[in-house]
Chains A and B, each alone.
Chain A
């Protein structure tokens, strides 16, 4: 079930944009692999080898400079492993990568100088105050004296953390701690910032606040590589995305491209009962329907012309004696793209607009 638009956004992208405003790739990855051998501790050495987990199975990527790139996938898809590989925390089993202009394997030190990294849990020291964490970061990157103080204060101002400067990090709210983590990740003005699940566990208000901050990064010319399993996050923040599932990239492109490639329209029908496995075949005769997905009582019809397909589809269902509870006609969402390429929906509940 490959869509017609799943052109790899790798080298082709670059040759296309060699003219004015051409940008080097901030990240370029080829054939990256990582497997974990689950070692059983405290066993005799030869019994230690446990099952092998293939976390990342040959990833190719190219992230243009100055863009926000989203890595979308469910938990355990290999997102965090990929980020840990690209930030030099893990060594790949095979593959090559250039990150921020330097070779990941032979020049990890240069890579570390130029990137920022905000892990899932933030990585801020909880037993110290807000300002101390910012100061530490800028001092570790070489700023001294008054310049370090000025830079730390500038970051406090930029993220609206001035009033919290002297507060102990462990006493911050989830949203405040995330903001601080982002500020620390950016304090040394990196060219490229990695954000691993930046809004995990935040309330909607704090998420919106953080999205705004991430949006602001692009205006300052910073490339952002973020992982997420939130569809709306990737859809609204990212210029380009890749969908990863079970350690492999299933598809990549801009959100618009991926949705258009699927079909211009999608019909979501909520049936009163499960139509069974035969649902897909029912619509074979309808010319404008490209493909059909059924998940329980929910049918999704991907159509070229949704307005014409809708009455036809309703007639087909009526002929089969299948009652329709609700129906919605819309453009495909990123969840449709995800479902199409992985065979599973990433949204928690089937969304059928009322």
Chain B
């Protein structure tokens, strides 16, 4: 109970901190919408395997959701390092509070922010003609939350290991860039040559994108759906376990 209450207190504080940051709100909310408005129309004239049979947005929006989940979460470790530099984490370490509560509060905050971004994206998409399948979209949002926990958890853990902003940013880019490229996030992997399709099979984000596409198209019983949840779920458990063990050792 105390663990939950403390996590709640830290969650509220972290959310207050994020909402206080005007720049983040503009960038965090503006960027996905920009993708949708400025990049979406380019897909209109494309045709090929995996394209065309449904509207472009039905293919593109689930990919964008996953991109938001990945890019909105994997840089969260920078915030941890800023709090570390300010001595804020040190002060928390001299309270009876378990550092794990801090991790829980932060992850909840990150999921909240991602959900807000995702809802905005869906709203703009709907205004531009995206057909929204309610149950499928709700499940897709839960997958977005899981990918967010995965990205943020890895980012916090990595931040505690490297303890340097530049190293962390470099490492995050090094991992997320190829993950984005071979996930079929912007264009379906079905367009790719065979070897690239093989490579995509090793990319967890690929399964998340595939599952989100099936879900948002209303195909809730596609095999891609349980596969996506299983792959991401297993990774979330692994990464959160890693992060918890690092946080337990102390953040300062």
Q: Which residues of A are interface residues toward B (Cβ below 8 A)? A: 87-89, 109, 112-113, 115-117, 119-129, 132, 135-137, 139-141, 168, 184, 188
Stretch at the interface among B33-41, B86-94, B178-186, B228-236: B86-94
- Residue in A115, A116, A123, A139 whose CB lies within 8 Å of B90: A123
CB-based contact B91/A109 at 8 Å = no
Q: 1/0 contact trace for B46-85 toward A, CB 8 Å?
A: 0000000000000000000000000000000000001100
Given contacts A125-B17, A184-B91, could you give 16 more A-B pairs where the C-beta distance is less than 8 Å?
A89-B252, A112-B94, A113-B96, A117-B90, A117-B91, A120-B87, A123-B90, A124-B86, A127-B17, A127-B20, A128-B17, A128-B20, A136-B9, A140-B10, A140-B95, A140-B96
- Residue in B10, B20, B82 whose CB lies within 8 Å of A129: B20
Instruction: Kindly list chain B residues whose C-beta atoms are within 8 Å of the C-beta of A188.
Output: 95
Tell me the bound Cα distance from A87 to B13 in angstroms: 24
CB-based contact B91/A112 at 8 Å = no
Tell me the bound Cα distance from A112 to B93 in angstroms: 8
Number of A-B contacts (CB under 8 A): 72
CB-based contact B96/A141 at 8 Å = yes
- Residue in B88, B94, B96 whose CB lies within 8 Å of A87: B94
The distance from the CB of B163 to the nearest CB of chain A, in whole angstroms, is 9
Max chain A Cβ within 10 angstroms of own Cβ: one of B10, B17, B94:
B94
Tell me the bound Cα distance from A123 to B91 in angstroms: 6
Closest A residue to B93 by beta carbon equals A89
Q: 1/0 contact trace for B9-50 toward A, CB 8 Å?
A: 110010011001100000000000000000000000000000
Max chain B Cβ within 10 angstroms of own Cβ: one of A113, A125, A126, A139:
A125
- Take A123-B86, A140-B6 as given contacts and tell me if A128 and B16 are in contact as well, using a CB distance cutoff of 8 Å: yes
Question: Which 7 pairs, one residue from A and one from B, show the smallest C-beta to C-beta distance?
Answer: A123-B91, A123-B87, A117-B94, A121-B87, A139-B9, A125-B88, A119-B87
**Does B97 make an interface contact (CB < 8 A)?**
yes
Instruction: Kindly list chain B residues whose C-beta atoms are within 8 Å of the C-beta of A184.
Output: 91
The distance from the CB of B181 to the nearest CB of chain A, in whole angstroms, is 28
Closest B residue to A188 by beta carbon equals B95
Instruction: Kindly list chain A residues whose C-beta atoms are within 8 Å of the C-beta of B94.
Output: 87-89, 112, 115-117
Tell me the bound Cα distance from A116 to B87 in angstroms: 14
The distance from the CB of A184 to the nearest CB of chain B, in whole angstroms, is 7
CB-based contact A121/B16 at 8 Å = no
Interface residues on B, range: 20 to 34
The distance from the CB of B75 to the nearest CB of chain A, in whole angstroms, is 15
Instruction: Kindly list chain B residues whose C-beta atoms are within 8 Å of the C-beta of A87.
Output: 94
- Residue in A119, A122, A141 whose CB lies within 8 Å of B95: A141
Tell me the bound Cα distance from A29 to B92 in angstroms: 24
Tell me the bound Cα distance from A352 to B96 in angstroms: 50
Instruction: Kindly list chain B residues whose C-beta atoms are within 8 Å of the C-beta of A109.
Output: 96
Max chain A Cβ within 10 angstroms of own Cβ: one of B6, B20, B82:
B20
CB-based contact B86/A121 at 8 Å = yes
Instruction: Kindly list chain A residues whose C-beta atoms are within 8 Å of the C-beta of B87.
Output: 119-124
CB-based contact A128/B13 at 8 Å = yes
CB-based contact A112/B16 at 8 Å = no
Could you list 19 examples of A-B contacts with CB < 8 Å? Answer: A112-B94, A112-B95, A112-B96, A113-B96, A117-B94, A121-B87, A122-B86, A123-B88, A123-B90, A125-B83, A125-B86, A125-B88, A126-B86, A126-B88, A127-B21, A128-B13, A129-B16, A137-B95, A140-B97
Tell me the bound Cα distance from A113 to B96 in angstroms: 6
The distance from the CB of A341 to the nearest CB of chain B, in whole angstroms, is 31
Instruction: Kindly list chain A residues whose C-beta atoms are within 8 Å of the C-beta of B13.
Output: 125, 128, 132, 135-136
Tell me the bound Cα distance from A140 to B96 in angstroms: 8
CB-based contact A132/B16 at 8 Å = yes
User: Which residues from 184 to 225 on chain B have a C-beta closer than 8 Å to any C-beta of chain A?
Assistant: none
The distance from the CB of A135 to the nearest CB of chain B, in whole angstroms, is 8
The distance from the CB of A38 to the nearest CB of chain B, in whole angstroms, is 15
Instruction: Kindly list chain B residues whose C-beta atoms are within 8 Å of the C-beta of A128.
Output: 13, 16-17, 20
Max chain B Cβ within 10 angstroms of own Cβ: one of A88, A113, A126, A168:
A126
The distance from the CB of B202 to the nearest CB of chain A, in whole angstroms, is 28
Max chain A Cβ within 10 angstroms of own Cβ: one of B6, B13, B21, B91:
B91
Tell me the bound Cα distance from A109 to B20 in angstroms: 32
Instruction: Kindly list chain A residues whose C-beta atoms are within 8 Å of the C-beta of B16.
Output: 128-129, 132
User: Which residues from 136 to 176 on chain B have a C-beta closer than 8 Å to any C-beta of chain A?
Assistant: none
Closest A residue to B6 by beta carbon equals A140
Tell me the bound Cα distance from A8 to B90 in angstroms: 33
Instruction: Kindly list chain B residues whose C-beta atoms are within 8 Å of the C-beta of A88.
Output: 93-94
- Residue in A124, A127, A140 whose CB lies within 8 Å of B9: A140
The distance from the CB of A40 to the nearest CB of chain B, in whole angstroms, is 15
The distance from the CB of A241 to the nearest CB of chain B, in whole angstroms, is 23
Instruction: Kindly list chain B residues whose C-beta atoms are within 8 Å of the C-beta of A123.
Output: 86-88, 90-91
Instruction: Kindly list chain A residues whose C-beta atoms are within 8 Å of the C-beta of B92.
Output: 140
Tell me the bound Cα distance from A168 to B21 in angstroms: 10
The distance from the CB of A190 to the nearest CB of chain B, in whole angstroms, is 10
CB-based contact B17/A89 at 8 Å = no
- Take A88-B94, A113-B96 as given contacts and tell me if A168 and B88 are in contact as well, using a CB distance cutoff of 8 Å: no
The distance from the CB of B58 to the nearest CB of chain A, in whole angstroms, is 39
Tell me the bound Cα distance from A115 to B90 in angstroms: 14
